[in-house]
Chains A and B, each alone.
Chain A
Amino acid sequence: MTRRFILGTVAHRLAILVYIIFALFPLYWLLKVSVTPNDLLYSEGVRMWPSRAGLEHYIFVLEHSDFPKFFKNSVIVSASTAFIVTILASLAGYALSRFTFRGKYWIVVLMLLTQMFPLVMLVAPIFKMLSPLGLTNSLGGLILVYVAFNVPFATFLMQSFFDGIPKDLEEAAMIDGATRFRAFRQIILPLTLPGIAATLGFVFTAAWSELLFALMLISGADASTFPVGLLSFVSKFSVDFGQMMAAGVMALIPACLFFLLIQRYLVQGLTAGAVKG
């Protein structure tokens, strides 16, 4: 325990603290504004907490806006996207990790290629494709687009998790009498739960906060998702900051719940003891 060591530890902790404050302060501000009554919003100057706090923005958003509908749409779109992508990415990632097949290289190149275009470039052609199919202005169309854009990255993510699981395990299962698919289901998937949780979480949050496609493919409140809905608090003449922030705070809830649900799988180390000693 030298002086240098202590100083280093203190500096390290301080740096982490500064980072956490930097990262969480906007969230705090969101919360603060959401409970500030309108008459205090501009009159009190910059304060860490308003002299009078209330939930009126929340009540207004829940009772007099389309927010509950946006919220429901977003949950449907994000959850569906997350589940579909994770299933597809698990299967594709497993194939990339375990099999050699004709055209594998080109499939990987193609998947990487899709990740290289700025999405803005693709909005117009995608709109043109979906429109005659009746998939604009529908949650299904949005899910389809989100799935398409999230599968490549999620596949690479899942592949890296499968790569970390020894091939011996499913070979042992196959010799024990399992088909390859059963070995995948009963031996490999349970060991990939952390990876699946990470992929679910990643895709869910990506879909939850997506704005560009949601804005371009959907018109009208019926199929709007939450990020688009937030924009409705911006009117021509003013911005309803209090209501917007209240909606924002509520939008955090599902994401938080979701991560709370999967966090125990995010802890790695389940494969310990599989091989060697």
Chain B
Amino acid sequence: MASIDITDIRKNYGAIPVLHGVDLTIRDGEFVVLVGPSGCGKSTLLRMIAGLEDITAGEIQIGGIRVNDLQPKDRDIAMVFQSYALYPHMTVAGNMSYSLRLRRAAKQVIAGKVASAAAILGLDTLLERRPRALSGGQRQRVAMGRAIVRAPKAFLFDEPLSNLDARLRETMRGEIKRLHQSLGATSIYVTHDQIEAMTLADRIVAMNAGLVQQVGSPLDLYDRPANLFVAGFIGSPAMNMLGGTYRAADAAFVAHDNSVVPLGRAYGCADGAAVTLGIRPEHVVVGGAGGHVTAPVDLVEPTGFGTILHLRALGTDLKAFTLERKTAQVGETTSVALPPDRLHLFDAAGSRLS
């Protein structure tokens, strides 16, 4: 186990910059999730830590040792690939033991480690099979097994679950978390799926366009998104974003249709400045007394778990999520309240206002 320190890491592919300076410290035993939309440079960063991509500028340390110029084999990390990358001509046992055989471990040691990893992952009966005779979920487990037979300094995961169907993904997500709880290994996990990020991470690193947007605990990012990108990326259904201006006189938000939302407190922002108001659908209060506005219901989406209502309010399509089933009908008009303590305000550049 070891900590990982990333200092001002940059990556160019030819003349095209992909990472614009990333700083990150991953503590010993921590589970960090890199999350962001496709193409934002998550895999590139992970592969640089693994030693599979050259580092254009900056420094990476693993366990306090600079690894910029070390070959992947000398970095003592394990990685689970999105494609699993199992060796097709080796059995499950062969796949899992390859790294140990390369290190010339004794036969009994190898057999013991493979057996215990197989037991943890439920692969005991499949050890003599070839990868092509396994299901997707079993292949995924073998890929995990290949990583855990060693005790590497860190585990790297590059979207390990995205080739599985939704049900299996949920199961494996739980298993990965359980595995981390028992092994306590330093882990970096890349995903574009914010649910995976929220459920797995000790800390989330939200990335966009080659830059770190916010680092924090899952609930930090959920409750206090640092900017519009994080606010929109984390949470499903996505946060409502309303364009308008800030009115300093009574600390209120004025929407484009001139309806007014009281903010409850003053924000550090000039009077009349263009701002964006954010509120999560689950925080929008529908019906009941004390609504700010009345709004016609446009669309009702029952999810079984709850209901998503689309309302025409504040000059936009405002989504509201409630756990109740018996809610408004399409065409009906209902009152809508935006509780001040649930509001997020962002300036024109997209940064959170305090």
Which A residues form the contact surface with B (CB < 8 A)? 166, 168-169, 171-179, 182, 187, 190-191, 270-277
Q: Point out the residue from B50, B84, B89 that lies within 8 Å of A276, measured CB to CB.
A: B84
Assess whether A171 is in contact with B102, with CB atoms less than 8 Å apart.
Answer: no
Closest residue of chain B to A193 (Cβ to Cβ) is B89
Which 9 A-B residue pairs are closest in the complex by CB-CB distance? A273-B132, A277-B136, A168-B85, A275-B83, A176-B99, A273-B131, A172-B85, A177-B102, A274-B88
Q: Point out the residue from A166, A173, A175, A270 that lies within 8 Å of B78, measured CB to CB.
A: A175
Closest residue of chain A to B149 (Cβ to Cβ) is A176
In the complex, what distance in Å separates the CA atom of A271 from the CA atom of B88? 6
Can you list 5 A-B pairs, Cβ within 8 angstroms, ordered by A?
A171-B52, A176-B99, A176-B146, A179-B73, A274-B85
> Does B27 touch A at the CB level, under 8 Å?
no
In the complex, what distance in Å separates the CA atom of A120 from the CA atom of B7? 61
Beta-carbon contacts under 8 Å, B60-88 to A:
71-73, 77-79, 81, 83-88
- For B51, what are the chain A residues with a Cβ–Cβ distance below 8 Å? 174-175
In the complex, what distance in Å separates the CA atom of A177 from the CA atom of B77? 9
Assess whether A175 is in contact with B50, with CB atoms less than 8 Å apart.
Answer: yes
- For A173, what are the chain B residues with a Cβ–Cβ distance below 8 Å? 87, 98
Known contacts being A273-B130, A276-B83, A277-B135, is A174 close to B88, with CB within 8 Å? no
In the complex, what distance in Å separates the CA atom of A175 from the CA atom of B83? 15
Q: Point out the residue from A166, A171, A175, A276 that lies within 8 Å of B163, measured CB to CB.
A: A276
In the complex, what distance in Å separates the CA atom of A173 from the CA atom of B72? 9
Q: A166-B85, A275-B85 are in contact. List 12 more A-B contacts (CB 8 A).
A: A168-B81, A171-B52, A175-B72, A175-B73, A177-B73, A177-B103, A190-B89, A191-B88, A273-B88, A273-B134, A273-B139, A274-B88
The 0/1 profile, CB within 8 Å of A marked 1, for residues 39-72 of chain B is 0000000000011100000000000000000011
Assess whether B99 is in contact with A274, with CB atoms less than 8 Å apart.
Answer: no
Chain B CB within 10 Å, residue with most, of A187, A190, A275: A275
Q: Point out the residue from B73, B83, B84, B88 that lies within 8 Å of A272, measured CB to CB.
A: B88
Assess whether B88 is in contact with A178, with CB atoms less than 8 Å apart.
Answer: no
Closest residue of chain B to A177 (Cβ to Cβ) is B102
Assess whether A178 is in contact with B84, with CB atoms less than 8 Å apart.
Answer: no
> Does B176 touch A at the CB level, under 8 Å?
no
- For A273, what are the chain B residues with a Cβ–Cβ distance below 8 Å? 86, 88, 130-134, 139
Which B residues form the contact surface with A (CB < 8 A)? 50-52, 71-73, 77-79, 81, 83-89, 98-99, 102-103, 130-136, 139, 146, 163
In the complex, what distance in Å separates the CA atom of A179 from the CA atom of B84? 20
Assess whether B88 is in contact with A277, with CB atoms less than 8 Å apart.
Answer: no
In the complex, number of A-B residue pairs with CB atoms less than 8 Å apart: 85
Assess whether B81 is in contact with A176, with CB atoms less than 8 Å apart.
Answer: no
- For B86, what are the chain A residues with a Cβ–Cβ distance below 8 Å? 273-275
B44 to chain A, nearest CB (A): 13
- For B131, what are the chain A residues with a Cβ–Cβ distance below 8 Å? 273-274
In the complex, what distance in Å separates the CA atom of A177 from the CA atom of B103? 7
In the complex, what distance in Å separates the CA atom of A21 from the CA atom of B87? 43
In the complex, what distance in Å separates the CA atom of A177 from the CA atom of B130? 21
- For A174, what are the chain B residues with a Cβ–Cβ distance below 8 Å? 51-52, 71-73
Assess whether B89 is in contact with A171, with CB atoms less than 8 Å apart.
Answer: no
- For A177, what are the chain B residues with a Cβ–Cβ distance below 8 Å? 73, 99, 102-103
Closest residue of chain B to A272 (Cβ to Cβ) is B132
- For A275, what are the chain B residues with a Cβ–Cβ distance below 8 Å? 83-86
- For A169, what are the chain B residues with a Cβ–Cβ distance below 8 Å? 85, 87
- For A271, what are the chain B residues with a Cβ–Cβ distance below 8 Å? 88
- For A175, what are the chain B residues with a Cβ–Cβ distance below 8 Å? 50-52, 72-73, 77-79
In the complex, what distance in Å separates the CA atom of A67 from the CA atom of B79? 60
B135 to chain A, nearest CB (A): 6
A63 to chain B, nearest CB (A): 48
Assess whether B139 is in contact with A277, with CB atoms less than 8 Å apart.
Answer: yes
B84 to chain A, nearest CB (A): 6
- For A272, what are the chain B residues with a Cβ–Cβ distance below 8 Å? 88, 132
B332 to chain A, nearest CB (A): 47
Assess whether B81 is in contact with A172, with CB atoms less than 8 Å apart.
Answer: yes
A104 to chain B, nearest CB (A): 13
Chain A CB within 10 Å, residue with most, of B50, B73, B78: B73
Closest residue of chain B to A165 (Cβ to Cβ) is B88
- For B130, what are the chain A residues with a Cβ–Cβ distance below 8 Å? 273
Q: Point out the residue from A166, A176, A191 that lies within 8 Å of B98, measured CB to CB.
A: A176
Known contacts being A173-B98, A273-B130, is A166 close to B89, with CB within 8 Å? no
In the complex, what distance in Å separates the CA atom of A182 from the CA atom of B83? 21
- For B102, what are the chain A residues with a Cβ–Cβ distance below 8 Å? 176-178, 182
Assess whether A277 is in contact with B163, with CB atoms less than 8 Å apart.
Answer: yes
Assess whether B85 is in contact with A270, with CB atoms less than 8 Å apart.
Answer: no
In the complex, what distance in Å separates the CA atom of A64 from the CA atom of B160? 70
A192 to chain B, nearest CB (A): 11
Assess whether B72 is in contact with A171, with CB atoms less than 8 Å apart.
Answer: yes
In the complex, what distance in Å separates the CA atom of A271 from the CA atom of B130? 11
Chain B CB within 10 Å, residue with most, of A166, A172, A174: A172
Closest residue of chain A to B78 (Cβ to Cβ) is A175
Assess whether A270 is in contact with B139, with CB atoms less than 8 Å apart.
Answer: no
- For A277, what are the chain B residues with a Cβ–Cβ distance below 8 Å? 84, 134-136, 139, 163
